[in-house]
């Protein structure tokens, strides 16, 4: 942590700021937010720069503003790499389906930057072997691909509504412009639109049918979940249509709930 403090000191001196200058600027920030936690006195700043004291989240924000540096960069000096947040998502398996907000921000993303010249998109291949080099790509460069109509969701570990098409643990991409039920004759279950729906109990993915003021939430035939009929939009609202998925095969497993454990114990 001493290196982080040295970096902060170098920034301050490069900008020609004294510790009193930082104190005065932080006082104005604290006054503006009506929160004394943003204030950084000279003695505290000295401890941060020379003794490896880790500043609070409020003071890290204050320093990033005063020193004109990105907040994520300063967090990185203290060992918090926000670019790793997507990898760390696998450490938690929420039981309920939900919107994904953790992927909305970040500085860079690791992407293939050079492919094997023999790579041919016409044939099935091992993409991992076709990538010659990975590298960090600033997300600003990907802005041309941004579509603000898309949001993202995660199928909870106890949500079997669209199993086996969308097993628990699936990440989904949702087109929010397609938030109306489409009627039609589908040649297969893969053609029928799947919708991301918000209910009073949370989120879920399912097939939908509209009947007057009701929305019929239709699970997959192999799912243990029952059909639900909810009032629209009071009890259920379509966020959008699922247009993309990402899932790992063979890695998820059913989580035995406490109630199921008690029921099985009673039967034995």
Q: Whole-angstrom Cα distance, residue 112 to residue 130?
A: 10
Fold of 2-77: 434 Repressor (Amino-terminal Domain) (1.10.260)
Per the CB < 8 A criterion, the answer to whether 82 and 75 are in contact is yes
E strands along 97-211, which residues? Answer: 98-99, 108-115, 131-138, 150-154, 171-175, 195-199, 202-211
Q: Is 31 left (phi over 0), alpha (psi -120 to 50) or beta?
A: alpha
Q: Which residues 6+ apart lie within 8 Å of 174 measured at CB?
A: 150, 151, 152, 153, 196, 239, 240, 241, 242, 243
Residue ranges per structural domain of the chain: 2-77, 104-145, 150-246
pLDDT in tens, the chain (268 residues): 679 999 999 999 999 999 999 999 999 999 999 999 999 999 999 999 999 999 999 999 999 999 999 998 999 999 998 877 767 777 887 888 887 766 555 556 666 667 777 766 566 455 566 677 766 666 555 555 566 678 888 888 889 999 999 998 888 889 999 999 998 888 999 999 999 999 988 899 999 999 989 999 999 999 999 999 999 999 999 999 999 998 877 665 655 544 454 444 443 3
> Taking the model in full, what pTM does it have?
0.60
Measure the CA–CA gap between 256 and 95, rounded to whole angstroms.
11
**Segment holding 87, helix H or strand E:** helix 85-88
Residue among 246, 231, 233, 234 nearest 172 (CA): 246
Asked if residue 21 lies in contact with residue 45, where contact means CB atoms within 8 angstroms, the answer is no
Show the beta-strand stretches assigned E in the chain. 98-99, 108-115, 131-138, 150-154, 171-175, 195-199, 202-211, 214-218, 228-231, 236-246
Q: Which fold has domain 150-246?
A: Umud Fragment, subunit A (2.10.109)
Percent of the chain as helix, strand, coil, to the nearest 5 = 35, 25, 45
- 2-77 shares its CATH topology with 150-246: no
Q: What is the pLDDT of residue 268?
A: 39
**CA end-to-end span of the chain:** 56
Rg of the chain's alpha carbons, rounded to an integer?
Answer: 25
Output 208-213 pairs: Cβ under 8 A, ≥24 positions apart: 208/181, 208/238, 209/181, 209/183, 210/181, 210/183
């Amino acid at each position: 942590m001493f290196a982080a403090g040295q970096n902060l000191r170098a920034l301050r001196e490069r900008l020609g700021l004294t510790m009193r200058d930082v104190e005065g600027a932080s006082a104005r920030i604290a006054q503006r937010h009506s929160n004394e936690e943003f204030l950084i006195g000279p003695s505290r700043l000295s401890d941060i720069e020379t003794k490896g004291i880790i500043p609070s989240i409020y003071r890290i924000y204050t320093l990033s503003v005063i020193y004109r540096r990105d907040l994520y960069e300063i967090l990185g000096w203290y060992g918090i790499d926000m670019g790793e947040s997507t990898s760390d998502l696998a450490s938690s398996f929420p039981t309920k389906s939900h919107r994904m907000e953790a992927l909305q921000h970040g500085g860079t993303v690791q992407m293939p930057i050079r492919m094997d010249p023999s790579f041919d998109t016409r044939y099935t291949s091992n993409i991992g072997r076709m990538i010659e080099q990975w590298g960090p790509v600033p997300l600003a460069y990907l802005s041309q691909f941004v579509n603000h109509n898309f949001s993202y969701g995660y199928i909870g570990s106890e949500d079997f509504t669209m199993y086996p098409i969308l097993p628990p643990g699936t990440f989904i991409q949702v087109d929010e412009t397609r938030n109306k039920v489409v009627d039609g004759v589908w040649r297969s279950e893969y053609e029928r639109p799947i919708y991301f729906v918000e209910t009073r109990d949370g989120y879920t993915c399912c097939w939908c049918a509209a009947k007057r003021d009701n929305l019929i939430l239709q699970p997959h035939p192999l799912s243990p979940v029952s059909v639900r009929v909810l009032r629209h939009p009071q009890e259920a609202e379509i966020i959008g249509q699922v247009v993309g998925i990402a899932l790992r095969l063979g890695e998820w497993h059913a989580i035995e709930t406490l109630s199921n454990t008690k029921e099985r114990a009673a039967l034995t």
